[in-house]
Structure 1
């Protein structure tokens, strides 16, 4: 309840975005392999940003 108005950090936003894109890629995997691969590439780029933020 006390975290209701707390703003998310950049790291939390990236992690949420990564999770969402990975779910989309998984769903697309059986429908359209090309779009799925693009989503996995997007997710990989976000994962690299997360790693760079965590290393700072």
Structure 2
């Protein structure tokens, strides 16, 4: 209840975007392989951003 109005962190927003891209890539994999590959590439770029943020927070 207390977290109802809590804003998402940048990492949380990127994780949601990452999951969405993976789902889209999976759906496209049956119909359009090249579009699926593009979505996978975008998802990997988002994952790299997440890793960079987490590394900078640790340091």
TM category (shorter chain) comes to over 0.9
Q: Which consecutive residues of structure 1, in runs of 5 or more, have no partner in the other structure? A: none
Offset at residue 5 of structure 1 (A): 0.3
Per the normalisation by structure 1, the TM-score is 0.97
- Give the Å deviation of 1:32: 0.4
Q: Matches of 1:35 and 1:2 in 2, distance apart?
A: 41
Q: CA RMSD in A?
A: 0.5
> What is the TM-score normalised by the length of structure 2?
0.92
Q: Matched residues in 1 for 2:50 and 2:34: separation?
A: 25
Q: Report runs of 4+ in structure 1 exceeding 6 Å deviation.
A: none
- Count of aligned pairs: 56
